[in-house]
């Protein structure tokens, strides 16, 4: 715990230096606040306008959670199907890679035309952003099982289902959580982009309205909230990984001792 605290102060110290330098430079050069507000002005705007910002923040968090769950479900199901049906993997794997070359910002208006301004197109955007890292990470994890363990369980009479749930899936968990961490940060970005499709509330809406009215301080408030959400979501997934995959931490401790 002490070592974690000792490491944790370093990025905080760097951020403090960055904000202090930003504040000092903006004040000394007298940059207009509509062009580049100081960190103190941004913080004051966050505090004074929290009642309105919190409504947008809650809406975005709800959208992130729904989209992330949808993306995780689709990603794991896709990885499971492609792993267990080889001819589907050979047929669809290149298409999965090609799907990531389509810019979401271009696809979003088409989703509005096809599905309207409701919740569905927003969930599709977040799902498309999230599912790919999970699918690729899970499929790579399924292939990391040691061959001798695989053959040992086959000799013991394990069925294909038992091989998957008792051997392949547990060994793939570290890789799956790596994909979850990437998707967790992507889900925040996907939620903000999806809110540009015509939402009434959300950080994306708040950012758009602030930008159009030249309220740069509010734009930075939105940016900092997006960064905070991404970091918080990443920390939560990291904590969940340590809680679930205890055997990995125990193995490291034994190796260190």
**Which three-class secondary structure state does DSSP give residue 122?**
helix
Residue 109, pLDDT score: 79
Residue 8, pLDDT score: 60
Asked whether the predicted pLDDT for residue 255 surpasses 50, the reply is: no
- Can you tell me the distance from the alpha carbon of 79 to that of 81, in angstroms, rounded to the nearest whole number? 6
**Would you place residue 7 in the very low, low, confident or very high pLDDT band (cuts 50, 70, 90)?**
low
- In tens, the pLDDT along 15-74 reads 888 888 888 888 888 888 888 888 888 999 999 989 889 999 999 999 999 999 999 999
Phi, psi values for residue 185, rounded to 5°: -75, -35
The rounded Cα 130 to chain-centroid distance in angstroms is: 7
Cβ 218 vs Cβ 49: under 8 Å: yes
Q: What is the 3-state secondary structure (H, E, C) of 186-203?
A: HHHHHHHHHHCCCCCCCH
- Return the number of other C-beta atoms located less than 10 Å from residue 69's C-beta: 15
- In tens, the pLDDT along 189-199 reads 888 888 887 77
Contacts of 142 (CB under 8 A, 6+ apart): 79, 83, 168, 169, 171, 172
Asked whether the predicted pLDDT for residue 249 surpasses 70, the reply is: no
Cβ 207 vs Cβ 196: under 8 Å: no
- Can you tell me the distance from the alpha carbon of 14 to that of 104, in angstroms, rounded to the nearest whole number? 33
Map tokens 């951020």 to a residue.
Answer: 15
Dihedral of CA 216/38/221/128: which sign? positive
Asked whether the predicted pLDDT for residue 252 surpasses 60, the reply is: no
Q: Which of 166, 63, 158 is nearest to 118 (CA)?
A: 63
Cβ 138 vs Cβ 175: under 8 Å: yes
> 98-135 in b/e burial notation, b at 16+ Cβ within 10 A?
eeeeeebeeebeebbeeeeeeeebbbbbbbbbbbbbbb
Asked whether the predicted pLDDT for residue 4 surpasses 60, the reply is: no
Asked whether the predicted pLDDT for residue 256 surpasses 80, the reply is: no
- In tens, the pLDDT along 76-122 reads 999 999 888 888 888 888 888 887 777 777 787 788 888 877 888 88
Tokens for 74?
Answer: 């689709």
* Opening angle at CA 92, ends 133 and 234, nearest 5: 10
**Would you place residue 223 in the very low, low, confident or very high pLDDT band (cuts 50, 70, 90)?**
very high
- In tens, the pLDDT along 122-168 reads 888 889 888 889 999 998 888 887 778 778 887 877 778 888 888 88
- Can you tell me the distance from the alpha carbon of 83 to that of 142, in angstroms, rounded to the nearest whole number? 8
């Amino acid at each position: 715990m002490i070592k974690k605290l000792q490491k944790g102060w370093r990025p905080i110290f760097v951020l403090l230096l960055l904000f202090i330098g930003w504040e000092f430079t903006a004040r000394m050069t007298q940059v207009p606040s509509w062009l580049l507000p100081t960190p103190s002005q941004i913080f004051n705007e966050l505090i004074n306008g929290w009642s309105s910002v919190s409504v947008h923040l809650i809406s975005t968090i709800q959208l992130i959670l729904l989209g992330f769950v949808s993306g995780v479900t689709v990603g794991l199901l896709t990885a499971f199907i492609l792993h267990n049906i080889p001819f589907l993997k050979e047929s669809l794997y290149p298409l999965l890679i090609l799907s990531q070359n389509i810019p979401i910002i271009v696809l979003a208006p088409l989703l509005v035309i096809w599905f309207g301004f409701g919740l569905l197109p927003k969930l599709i955007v977040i799902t498309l952003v999230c599912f790919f890292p999970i699918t690729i990470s899970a499929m790579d994890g399924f292939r990391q099982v040691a061959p001798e363990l695989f053959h040992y369980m086959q000799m013991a009479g394990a069925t294909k289902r038992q091989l998957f749930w008792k051997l392949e899936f547990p060994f793939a968990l570290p890789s799956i959580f790596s994909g979850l961490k990437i998707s967790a940060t992507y889900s925040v970005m996907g939620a903000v982009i999806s809110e540009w499709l015509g939402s009434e509330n959300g950080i994306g809406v708040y950012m758009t309205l602030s930008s159009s009215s030249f309220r740069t301080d509010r734009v930075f408030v939105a940016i900092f909230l997006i960064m905070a959400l991404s970091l918080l979501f990443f920390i939560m997934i990291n904590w969940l990984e340590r809680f679930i995959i205890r055997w990995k931490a125990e193995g490291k401790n034994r190796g260190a001792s």
